[in-house]
Chains A and B, each alone.
Chain A
Amino acid sequence: MESCPSVKNILLLDSEGNRVAVKYYSDDWPTNSSKEAFEKSVFTKTQKTNARTEAEIAMFENNIVIYKFAQDLHFFVTGGDDENELIISTVLQGFFDAVGLLLRGNVDKKEALENLDLILLCLDEIVDGGIILETDANVIAGKVASHSVDSGAPLSEQTISQALATAREHLTRSLLNV
């Protein structure tokens, strides 16, 4: 318990349980097949639950998994058995909201695959080797978007604060759309 809070994996699956983007930080699943088996069991067991308005939680193989769905995308964050559930939940919320900002509110599989580079960078900005780097969705999206190839303005001219402004704008828009 003296250890630093840690994340074991972050999964983004589609509505059939296929990978969109996943990132593992622990050795609990050493092979690709064990990873796929974990994803499958997590997906099937959570599939029927309603995790669209609030994040839900379940336990698998001595791990806690917190998850949330949007359209045909399923977001999961896994932590150890004795991890503080609310910390893991904060990571999930950060990831979920950042993806929402980066995809400009169009959170679905098509959009996610078309902007896979952003999703991967987003994962990279949230957790580094299991240690939480950042949980604030605006900051995460800001860091990712400011480096984006396709952000319209010449990159050198766009500062982080500008990116943040765009991100916020997207957020409001996505909120209005809901």
Chain B
Amino acid sequence: MAQFVKKDDDRDEEAEYSPFLGIEKGAVLQDARVFNDPQLDSRRCSQVITKLLYLLNQGETFTKVEATEVFFAVTKLFQSKDIGLRRMVYLIIKELSPSSDEVIIVTSSLMKDMNSKTDVYRANAIRVLCRITDGTLLTQIERYLKQAIVDKNPVVASAALVSGIHLLQTNPEIVKRWSNEVQEAVQSRAALVQFHALALLHQIRQNDRLAVSKLVTSLTRGTVRSPLAQCLLIRYASQVIRESSMNNQSGDRPFYDYLEGCLRHKAEMVIFEAARAITELNGVTSRELTPAITVLQLFLSSSKPVLRFAAVRTLNKVAMTHPMAVTNCNIDMESLISDQNRSIATLAITSLLKTGNESGVDRLMKQITNFMSDIADEFKIVVVDAIRSLCLKFPLKYRSLMNFLSNILREEGGFEYKKAIVDSIVILIRDIPDAKESGLLHLCEFIEDCEFTYLSTQILHFLGVEGPKTSDPSKYIRYIYNRVILENATVRASAVSTLAKFGAMVDSLKPRIFILLRRCLYDNDDEVRDRATLYLNTLGGDGSVVETEKDVKDFLFGSLDIPLVNLETSLKNYEPTEEHFDISSVPKEVKSQPLAEKKSAGKKPTALGAPPAAPTSTVDAYEKLLSSIPEFSTFGQLFKSSAPVELTEAETEYAVNVVKHIFDKHVVFQYNCTNTIPEQLLENVVVVVDASEAEEFAEVATKPLKALPYDTPGQTFVAFEKPEGVPAVGRFSNVLKFIVKEVDPSTGEAEEDGVEDEYQLEDSEIVAADYMLKVGVSNFRNAWESLGPDFERIDEYGLGPRESLSEAVNAVVNLLGMQPCEGTEVVAANSRSHSCLLSGVYIGNVKVLVRLSFGVDSSKEVAMKLAVRSEDESVSDAIHEIVAN
């Protein structure tokens, strides 16, 4: 009701305006009684409906009772022959969205209208009926709808087709039966009928790639009248291109000529759709791009903002992958920097930043500085990101770019914006050594007056890492200690840590740092005091200048190589006993959640032997499960559990998968079995494993499964002994043995006697990757440096002809079973070389880092250079052996 009160306030102003002034729901509902008059005043009825619609439109809601009352009253209006009133009736029925028992009241009226001679009635009745109907009613009216699709009146046909598109979501099986009629409508001479028919036909067939391909082939040759339909066709054609290019790598693109032809269409929307489709083609060549870029360039100088926006947005995307192709447009782009529409200006600037050359940077920066003050934060972030990548591209220009960043850092801005700037400066400091000192000072100045606790702590931490390594670390101390005096507890605590880091790393500063830390012992916050006490004691705060021991440094400032989630769960599970909590018992496995989800989604639910537990808890669950089995409890700490590997085809009688659990001296196979036959009960289920092809393994225990009823997953285990710490590999053949008993499906009772039977499973394997834990590192370069070159092993390998570079990278990553770092597992399309960083922990808790460099030649021969660093010479060699084999 708020707006009505408000309207009263400025009555003077609005009195002459609104016919709805002072409107009230109660009064309008009273008015709705005129619908029941025996002599209908259609004009008056229309006005009341308009008022009701106005109320609904303003966000007013009707109670269930009110809505029902209005609905029933409205149904009376079907008696009137007034077309205008009828249209309002249709409208309000759609707005009221009646419940299914109410729908029945209007069904017959609407069905009558559907078969009326008046086209307007037919079209609208179809739309209303399809909107409010449910599946059962739909079968009754299906016949009429099929007729309507091929109706000679285009409005009626469109109404039926559009309703079909909506109904396909809820009743696909019914709508799919209409495809003959829809196919006929695709050939319609009416432009929009063709558009709607094409949309529906494609949705009906979208899962049938061949049919879609045929549809596109036939239509691209024929004539498509409506620009909208043409846009659809372009989308479908690019879908076909995308799917077919996966099959044939080399051949020419099937529908490229069609797309290029559309660039000369007379409708701008078609031209743009085609140009955009071309720029988004997988691995598009610059020859293919050129005509699309040319038309987009023309759009850039259009008088219509929408055209300019569309063109510059698309070119901006192209600039990320093919900067050279866009350089031709640079002159047009530069004129857009002063565009009235700020979105266009921002997109133009960022495109220029991506495509510009080194000499133009300074000029461009000057233009941007003027422009930054009057755009919104979200655009500023886009600009900052673009500047960061520019700086990495032209490291020599760091001075002007760093200046720009520090200037905008001082100006007003929200958290996200400031964070983007700080992140950019941090990245520049890391990657451009020359920029370090000036960058750190800019950050120091920023935290002197920073309202965001998060950013202050981030910067303090970063100062602690980088500051001590600079030529004059003492100059940062003042900034840091100021935080201890001026800021809130969170920032104070991290400032204390940073001070301590300087103290530990720079011996000459130690006495002074200790004085400052001692002052923090009187802080009124627990955390700050605790930190200060800890650092003073561990760093030897008795005032003498002593060399801090390496262990202490590692303890205080070493990186925690355990995922925090895992530590959290372990701490929660820990019960206070005599035994102290052991941090080495925390599993180090990084769970790649999205991957696991994808895998399980692809499988049939019944084929999943193990209950599909949430990936975050699987390792803990396995650990609990295994330690609860007495035979395996002596095996010690679980090193790694593999993902389930299917040993049966999907949809066979018995679904079995295996999880490999690796211990120091043992390997346990956990077979997850599911019985998919309702008429059977399996008893004494075991897997008989033949390890003759795995010489180093000796079977030590099996744990059979007593009973396996229908559709209830169960587990059986087999354990092997293997030489301690040795990454033994081998192949195991598996046979499922059991006693099968018939079950009466009606009673669920099993027969007394069973028959022994067996079922051949696929082989399982222990491979080298099973001994590798995926453990990521946050900063690969630091980790690499800190491991040192002592146990570095470098060698080169030829991988032979491969389908693509990314396929080769994936193969090696999977072979090693290591965690790709910093997103390096992604290979840019069309690149000829790639480097990939991997990290992991090898059995025996040995940290391993790998640098892979790949190159591919024109005949798709892939060569690889493999550099391994680890804490143990033999492990470095072992990694090379894995690849060599």
Contacts and interface: CB of A to CB of B under 8 A. Distances in A.
B87 A57 contact: no
B91 A86 contact: no
A132 B84 contact: no
A2 B216 CA distance: 12
B466 to A, nearest CB: 36
Given A149-B84, A155-B84, A86 B272 contact: yes
Interface stretch (B46-54, B616-624, B697-705, B716-724): B46-54
Contacts of B18: 110, 113
Contacts of A113: 17-20
Given A5-B228, A120-B50, A131-B199, A149 B343 contact: no
Nearest to A132: B228
Interface residues of A, number: 52
Given A4-B165, A50-B340, A133-B158, A66 B306 contact: yes
Interface string B219-260: 000000000100110011011000000000000000000000
A95 to B, nearest CB: 14
B878 interface: no
Interface in B1-34: 3, 16-20
A163 B84 CA distance: 14
A169 interface: no
A84 B341 contact: no
Contacts of A19: 57-59
Contacts of B232: 4-5
B588 interface: no
Contacts of B94: 124
Nearest to A89: B306
Nearest to B163: A128
Contacts of A4: 165, 199, 203, 232
A8 interface: no
Given A4-B199, A4-B232, A121 B87 contact: yes
A18 interface: yes
Contacts of B203: 4
B148 to A, nearest CB: 14
A155 B309 contact: no
Contacts of B276: 84
A134 B50 contact: no
A147 interface: yes
Contact of B162 (A2, A128, A156): A128
Given A50-B340, A128-B162, A155-B84, A121 B91 contact: yes
Nearest to A35: B59
Given A2-B239, A121-B87, A149 B228 contact: no
Contacts of B340: 49-50
Nearest to B206: A2
Contacts of B163: 128
Contacts of A22: 57
Contact of B306 (A36, A55, A131, A149): A55
18 contacts: A4-B165, A45-B376, A49-B341, A56-B306, A56-B341, A57-B341, A85-B272, A86-B269, A87-B231, A90-B269, A116-B20, A116-B54, A117-B46, A128-B163, A133-B158, A134-B192, A147-B86, A147-B87
A70 interface: no
B272 A32 contact: no
Interface string B134-167: 0000000000000000000001001100110110
B17 A109 contact: yes
Contacts of B863: none
B343 A58 contact: yes
Given A2-B202, A49-B341, A117-B46, A147 B83 contact: yes
Nearest to A2: B239
A21 B57 contact: yes
Contacts of A147: 83-84, 86-87, 120
Nearest to A158: B83
Given A56-B305, A133-B158, 7 more contacts: A4-B232, A86-B307, A109-B17, A134-B192, A143-B120, A143-B155, A149-B46
Interface string A120-144: 1100100011011111000000010
A86 B231 CA distance: 11
Contact of A36 (B59, B91, B196, B239): B59
B85 interface: yes
B631 interface: no
A27 interface: no
B43 interface: yes
A126 B309 CA distance: 24
Contacts of A117: 46, 49-50, 53, 88
Nearest to B271: A86
A28 interface: no
Q: What band does the interface of chain B fall in when counting residues whose beta carbon is under 8 Å from A? A: 35 or more
Contacts of B376: 45
B127 interface: yes
A46 to B, nearest CB: 10
Nearest to B158: A133
Nearest to B313: A85
A176 interface: no
Of A54, A57, A124, the most chain B CB neighbours within 10 A belong to: A57
Contact of B305 (A32, A57, A150): A57
Contacts of B162: 128-129, 131, 133
A41 to B, nearest CB: 11
A24 B742 CA distance: 58
Nearest to A18: B3
A85 B19 contact: no
A146 interface: yes
B310 interface: yes
A131 B196 contact: yes
Contact of B236 (A2, A55, A66, A116): A2
Nearest to B3: A18
Contacts of A135: 228
A92 to B, nearest CB: 9
Contacts of B131: 129
Nearest to A54: B304
A165 interface: no
B83 A155 contact: yes
Contacts of B87: 121, 147
Contacts of B343: 57-59
A113 B206 CA distance: 43
Interface string A1-45: 111110000000000001101100000000010011000000001
A85 B50 contact: no
A148 interface: yes
B54 A124 contact: no
A1 B240 CA distance: 12
A50 B46 CA distance: 37
Contacts of A56: 305-306, 341
B763 interface: no
Of B49, B50, B84, B85, the most chain A CB neighbours within 10 A belong to: B84
Given A85-B310, A120-B53, A131-B199, A1 B235 contact: yes
Contacts of B53: 116-117, 120
